[in-house]
Amino acid sequence: MNSDHTQTIKTVQLAWEGNIPLSMHHEDYYFSLKSGLEETRYVYLKQNKLPERWLTHKAAPLHSPFTIVETGFGTGLNFLTAWQAWQNVDQSKRAFSFISIEKYPLTKDDLKRSLANWPELSDLSNALIEQYPYHAKGSHLLSFNHGKVKLLLIFGDVNHDLENHSFIADCWFLDGFTPSKNPSMWTDPLFNLMAKHSDGHTTFSSFTAAGSVRRGLANAGFEVQKTQGFGGKRDMIFGNFLQNTTLTADQNAKWSLPEPKTTSEPKHKDTQKSPTYDALIIGAGLAGITTAASLAEKGLNVAIVDQNNHTVGGASGQSQLALYIKLPTEKNKTSDFISHCTYFSQRFFNEMQKQNPNKIFWHKTGLLQLAWNEKEKIRHTKFLNNNLYPAKFVRGVSSSEVSKLSGIDIDCNGLWFENSGWLEPITFASTILTNPLITVLTKTKVNSFEWCEHNLIWNLNTKDENTSLPVALSSKYLVIANANDAKKFQQLEHLPTQAIKGQVSSLYSDKLKTAKTVLCGEGYLCPPINNWHHFGATFDLQYEHNKPTQAATLENIKSIQRWLPSWMTQHDDIAAITAKDNLTANAGIRCTTPDYMPIVGPAPIYNEMLSHFAALRKDAKSCEQRYGKYYPNLYLNIGHGSKGTVTTPIAAELISALITGSPNPFDASQSAMIAPARFIIRHLKQGRI
Ligand code: SAM
């Protein structure tokens, strides 16, 4: 099968000269063993005036990181050297982001062997090796130092796959093999792309001083200077962006974003009141708490407001949440999107658990998806024949392996996700909310909110549910993460969300077999907690209340008897099981959307969008160069349905990226797939509104 049709990317074949890696593809060395580290320090750090530039603030946006963008990640030596230097700056005023793109990544073993050359970097190298992503195309956002250091590692080609990402580089590390050996990388499109992602502060440097590179950079608007090269090399180049070009970044789906601000200075600074928080988040489910954690990690002072008396109520409040999603059998935009989210979540929960070893919330038990009936068998065969994903992420297993992995005799093949598992949301919430920059305000109901143009803040109209007194809350940024209730706010009435009830059953038994992994068939069964087996869940569009029902309990039992008969046989007497008081249930209301994708991003102003994009009714291809009309600093993070563990951690990073300029975990077309304004645009094109 042509590798373009898979999610995986080819790794590089190396030859080794002692411990020095040589790329067989480009016939060039990655570094010199004698002086590789010093060369990086001289060529990339010194010529870009690092670490000096980390000692100064940048005015806006709030808490924006210092962003280095590199062409050619290779062994990660440049990243690690820059990270080490940043870490040694006592009082860095900016967080550290590194975006790097790599077309032919090293295998993990080759990465280990290459980095073993640099013992002084070993702590940082080990952290990188541990999180080194699957060889899957696209971007992988890695987080280190409790989120202060971010690495967006993009597996793809500099000339095709960087332009889809939104960022402004503070500096460029132009690496990549020497232009004579790798001419297809050093192109005018690359230099123009650099210009589109640079501003008046941007600098660059490169080990090469090839004439074509100097001319290309100069034509794209960079001032290029030559200086002495490292070691025996005659010269190298460095310089800065002159901002004399009129190029702006090509933006896919411009409608999904507000017009970039030309000035970020408040208008009436002297008379303005400060808000109570940098950001307020309405809703304390998985979407809200992960957003709070992500913003607080970037230094924002945040509060989560929820009408319930505890966090992770609602659909996030089950005892066990599986990290599970059914992947399409073909490669398409949806499979790219959800696999991308799943890679992120696996890394995220692992990393959070590692940082907080005293509280256990992430159980990496692995997850088996069973080919339990004819239809699933056909799906699994197709899935495996298409061979879309890295085997470390998912692979086919025989019925004997299924039985061995799960600890239950199961008579069918399966798909094995060895890095998945389940989350205990209440412990997870209490762990990630311990950041002192997060305040949790429960029993507080938000009735409405309005934008104050004078103070440039959102004022919330709230009520303390205990005292019935109003609570004064305001913030610069407001994130709506309260699922189905979002459309109760006047600004968001247009949202097409749909409530679906889900009930999970919990059965106490020391006789039933213990599942060692999460098992998924028609429903799912989690490994038991103290002999409590949790399984479910129902999907009820029509319901009268949000309490558990006997009918839903029966439905869950009948279902698991069908798809996992060796755990609960069809002969088991349902009446006897349900009559005992060792059966309980928990129901929650999911928030779903017409296209099953979450709603994450800036909140559109419905009426203004309608008039601004009216031409779409006649010509679906018009308005391509138009940005959307959005409320200032108002964001949505809802609609995660039953996929909260898969989509909320990465969605939180998207919200942070929009607010602080931290690396965006999605490319432009993925962001558009979940953009809140997509329904308005779609419905206009279809003439439905
Ligand atoms: N910066 C690296 C380090 O710190 O180890 C060394 C980079 S190595 C000299 C050059 C890298 O550029 C190689 O890993 C190569 O695969 C990558 N590369 C070459 N052409 C590329 C392209 N068109 N797009 C993305 N990466 C490319």
pLDDT tens for each residue of 144-168: 999 999 999 999 999 999 999 999 9
Angle at 481 between CA 480 and CA 482, to 5 degrees: 100
Give the three-class secondary structure for 302.
Answer: strand
The residue-averaged pLDDT of 426-451 equals: 96
182 CB within 6 A, ligand 1? yes
275 CB within 6 A, ligand 1? no
Tokens encoding 315 = 């659909």
Tokens encoding 611 = 């008039």
Burial of 493 (0-12, 13-18, 19+ CB in 10 A): exposed
How many Å apart are CA 331 and CA 485, to the nearest integer? 34
96 CB within 6 A, ligand 1? no
pLDDT, residue 646, reads 98
pLDDT band at 2 (very low <50, low <70, confident <90, very high): very low
List the beta bridge partners of residue 635.
Answer: 479, 602
User: Which position has the token pair 């032919």?
Assistant: 104
How many Å apart are CA 77 and CA 83, to the nearest integer? 10
pLDDT, residue 567, reads 92
* Cβ within 8 Å of residue 478, ≥6 positions away: 279, 280, 281, 282, 449, 458, 460, 633, 634, 635
pLDDT, residue 545, reads 86
115 CB within 6 A, ligand 1? no
Q: Which amino acid is at 501?
A: K
CA of 109 to the centre of ligand 1 (A): 17
* Cβ within 8 Å of residue 299, ≥6 positions away: 63, 95, 437
Share of the chain above pLDDT 90, in %: 82
pLDDT, residue 313, reads 79
458 CB within 6 A, ligand 1? no
Q: What are the pLDDT digits (tens) for 380-415?
A: 999 999 988 999 999 999 999 999 999 999 999 999
**Nearest atom (ligand 1) to Cα of 28:** 9
Q: Is the pLDDT of residue 579 over 70?
A: no
Share of the chain above pLDDT 70, in %: 94
Residues across the chain: 689
Closest CA to 93 of 61, 68, 66, 124: 66
39 CB within 6 A, ligand 1? no
78 CB within 6 A, ligand 1? yes
pLDDT, residue 252, reads 81
154 CB within 6 A, ligand 1? no
pLDDT band at 323 (very low <50, low <70, confident <90, very high): very high
187 CB within 6 A, ligand 1? no
pLDDT, residue 582, reads 85
Q: What are the pLDDT digits (tens) for 244-278?
A: 665 666 778 999 999 987 545 556 666 778 899 99
Q: Is the pLDDT of residue 452 over 50?
A: yes
User: Model-level pTM?
Assistant: 0.96
106 CB within 6 A, ligand 1? no
74 CB within 6 A, ligand 1? yes
Q: Is the pLDDT of residue 572 over 70?
A: no
Q: Which amino acid is at 11?
A: T
User: Which position has the token pair 């799943």?
Assistant: 342
**Nearest atom (ligand 1) to Cα of 12:** 16
What order do you get walking across the sheet with 518-520 strand by strand? 395-397, 414-417, 367-370, 518-520, 524-525, 532-536, 498-508, 583-592
pLDDT, residue 1, reads 40
Worst-scoring range by mean pLDDT, 84-93, 116-125, 441-450? 84-93
CA of 102 to the centre of ligand 1 (A): 6
Reported as half-sphere exposure (CB side, CA atoms, 13 A), residue 495 has a value of 32
CA of 27 to the centre of ligand 1 (A): 12
The residue-averaged pLDDT of 112-119 equals: 97
Worst-scoring range by mean pLDDT, 201-205, 261-265, 476-480, 556-560? 261-265
pLDDT, residue 599, reads 98
Closest CA to 206 of 226, 220, 234: 226
If you average pLDDT over every residue of the chain, what do you get?
A: 93
193 CB within 6 A, ligand 1? no
336 CB within 6 A, ligand 1? no
CA of 113 to the centre of ligand 1 (A): 17
CA of 104 to the centre of ligand 1 (A): 7
**Nearest atom (ligand 1) to Cα of 106:** 14
How many Å apart are CA 472 and CA 157, to the nearest integer? 50
179 CB within 6 A, ligand 1? no
CA of 26 to the centre of ligand 1 (A): 10
CA of 233 to the centre of ligand 1 (A): 20
What are the contacts of 562-566 at 24+ separation with CB within 8 A? 562/522, 563/370, 563/372, 563/373, 563/521, 563/522, 563/523, 564/370, 564/372, 564/408, 564/410, 564/519, 564/521, 564/525, 566/408, 566/409, 566/410, 566/411, 566/513
CA of 23 to the centre of ligand 1 (A): 10
pLDDT, residue 62, reads 63
Task: Look at ligand 1, atom 20, and give the residue with the nearest C-alpha.
Answer: 185
Q: Is the pLDDT of residue 337 over 80?
A: yes
DSSP 8-state class, residue 551: H
Higher pLDDT, 541 or 74: 74
CA of 330 to the centre of ligand 1 (A): 30
Closest CA to 437 of 204, 656, 213: 656
**Nearest atom (ligand 1) to Cα of 80:** 4
The residue-averaged pLDDT of 616-623 equals: 96
Closest CA to 643 of 324, 423, 363: 324
**Nearest atom (ligand 1) to Cα of 40:** 4
